[in-house]
Chain A
Amino acid sequence: MEHLLAVAIAGVMVVALILYALLAGADFGGGIWDLLAFGPRARQQRDALEHAIGPVWEANHVWLILVIVLLFSAFPPAFAALMTALHIPITLVLVGIVLRGSTFVFRKYDAQDDSTHRRWSLVFSLSSFLTPIFLGMTLGGLATGAIHVQEGIVTSGFFAGWTTFFAIACGLFAQGLFAFLAATYMTVETAGDLRLQGDFRQRALLSGLSLAPAALLVLSWRSVMHRCSLPV
């Protein structure tokens, strides 16, 4: 019974994490394309992104909150270990989420087209650009199996796992994946404007293709680890 409930709650956590990636991940990706907007329609691209993210970005964070609450309620020793061993990347993720959320709102209700507005926009898009990397590094670092716990105390220090080459590859992969998701969603959102839709189609194709080498990097590392029969 206990095992069944633990599996059920862990399953809910995985589903919530997937929904977070699908919804909030796309919001991060939107910020990435805000930073990388170029061409004759850069302004329209940014407006379309803002229009798409605006109503939903706050609600999308409910899934991350659910994951964290379930982690510390249902699996407290694991929460303690993760928050200790990975506190540096997790804090960076938190700072990034707060910065991009608040600056998105500041620039929305701020006077348009002045230097203050541009500064908020820059913080918004830069934090959207960097946060997915730290998010991916956190999960990648967890998956390396480098975090060691003895009698409830983390013995592997604050840099185990997330500073490995594998975790950094995971971070870049998460960033590319979120950008790809956002651009793909935007092709549906911009259905009324063929040229804008074409812009996002091109970006989705480019970022989608760039995922392939990153995925191979991650996979090859995993198979090497398996061959050496190390925990992955």
Chain B
Amino acid sequence: MVCTSIAALLALFALWRRWFQLARLAAAAQVALILSGWALAQFPALVPPTITIYSAAAPLVTLELLVTTLGLGAIVLLPSLLYLFVVFKQQRPPQHS
């Protein structure tokens, strides 16, 4: 909660001082902290108050397969997404048109 407020204030302050790179970072941190705070607050409940991640978990073999597939999928997905963002979002000098 404290971290979230600090990130929020930092984002606004950086915008005010025109430190735009820092503002973008702080705004992203703010959103990430809000959502992780919510997740931690209701852990281990998944659908509070009755369903938790333990009571709702699929059989062990499913979970094992899922984790394996996630690992394999990440090898394909993460570099591709990174490449997409490098191609389209890297800093370029202003174009003259």
Query: What is the interface of chain A, defined by CB distance below 8 A to chain B?
Result: 1-3, 5-10, 12, 14, 17-18, 21-22, 25, 55-56, 59, 62, 70, 73-78, 81-82, 85, 139, 142-143, 145, 147-150, 177, 180-181, 184-185, 187-188, 191-193, 197, 201, 204-205, 208-209, 211-212, 215, 231-232
Q: Across the interface, do B12 and A55 meet the contact criterion of CB distance under 8 Å? A: no
User: Do A191 and B91 form a contact, CB below 8 Å, given A18-B35, A78-B56, A143-B48?
Assistant: yes
Other than A55-B87, A147-B50, give 17 A-B pairs with Cβ distance below 8 A. A3-B57, A12-B70, A22-B31, A55-B84, A76-B58, A78-B47, A143-B41, A149-B50, A149-B51, A150-B50, A180-B27, A184-B15, A187-B15, A191-B94, A193-B94, A231-B45, A232-B41
Q: Across the interface, do A78 and B63 meet the contact criterion of CB distance under 8 Å? A: no
Q: Across the interface, do A209 and B47 meet the contact criterion of CB distance under 8 Å? A: no
Q: Given the complex, which residues of B lie within 8 Å of A17, measured CB to CB?
A: 35, 39
Query: What is the interface of chain B, defined by CB distance below 8 A to chain A?
Result: 8, 11-12, 15-16, 18, 20-21, 23-24, 27-28, 31-32, 34-36, 38-39, 41-51, 53-58, 60, 62-64, 66-67, 70, 77, 81, 84-85, 87-89, 91, 93-95
User: Do A59 and B47 form a contact, CB below 8 Å, given A6-B63, A73-B62, A197-B20?
Assistant: no
The 6 A-B residue pairs with the shortest CB-CB distance in the complex, in nearest-first order: A192-B94, A145-B48, A75-B56, A5-B63, A55-B88, A78-B56
Q: Indicate the member of B20, B45, B49 with the most A CB atoms within 10 Å.
A: B20
**How far is A18 from B33 in the complex, measured between Cα atoms in Å?**
9
**How far is A181 from B29 in the complex, measured between Cα atoms in Å?**
11
Q: Across the interface, do A18 and B36 meet the contact criterion of CB distance under 8 Å? A: yes
Q: Across the interface, do A59 and B84 meet the contact criterion of CB distance under 8 Å? A: yes
User: Do A56 and B88 form a contact, CB below 8 Å, given A74-B58, A201-B15, A231-B48?
Assistant: yes
Pick from B32, B44, B57: contact of A74, CB under 8 Å: B57
Pick from A139, A188, A197, A231: contact of B49, CB under 8 Å: A231
Can you list 20 residue pairs at the A/B interface with Cβ under 8 Å? A3-B54, A3-B57, A6-B63, A7-B53, A56-B88, A73-B58, A74-B58, A74-B62, A82-B47, A143-B48, A145-B45, A145-B49, A177-B31, A181-B28, A185-B24, A188-B20, A191-B20, A208-B11, A231-B45, A232-B48
Task: Name the CB-closest residue of A to B5.
Answer: A215
**How far is A208 from B7 in the complex, measured between Cα atoms in Å?**
12
User: Do A9 and B66 form a contact, CB below 8 Å, given A14-B36, A75-B57, A184-B23?
Assistant: yes
User: Do A187 and B48 form a contact, CB below 8 Å, given A12-B70, A18-B36?
Assistant: no
**How far is A147 from B49 in the complex, measured between Cα atoms in Å?**
8
**How far is A18 from B31 in the complex, measured between Cα atoms in Å?**
7
Q: Given the complex, which residues of B lie within 8 Å of A76, measured CB to CB?
A: 56, 58
**How far is A13 from B54 in the complex, measured between Cα atoms in Å?**
15
Q: Across the interface, do A211 and B8 meet the contact criterion of CB distance under 8 Å? A: yes
Q: Across the interface, do A149 and B47 meet the contact criterion of CB distance under 8 Å? A: yes
Q: Indicate the member of B41, B54, B87 with the most A CB atoms within 10 Å.
A: B54
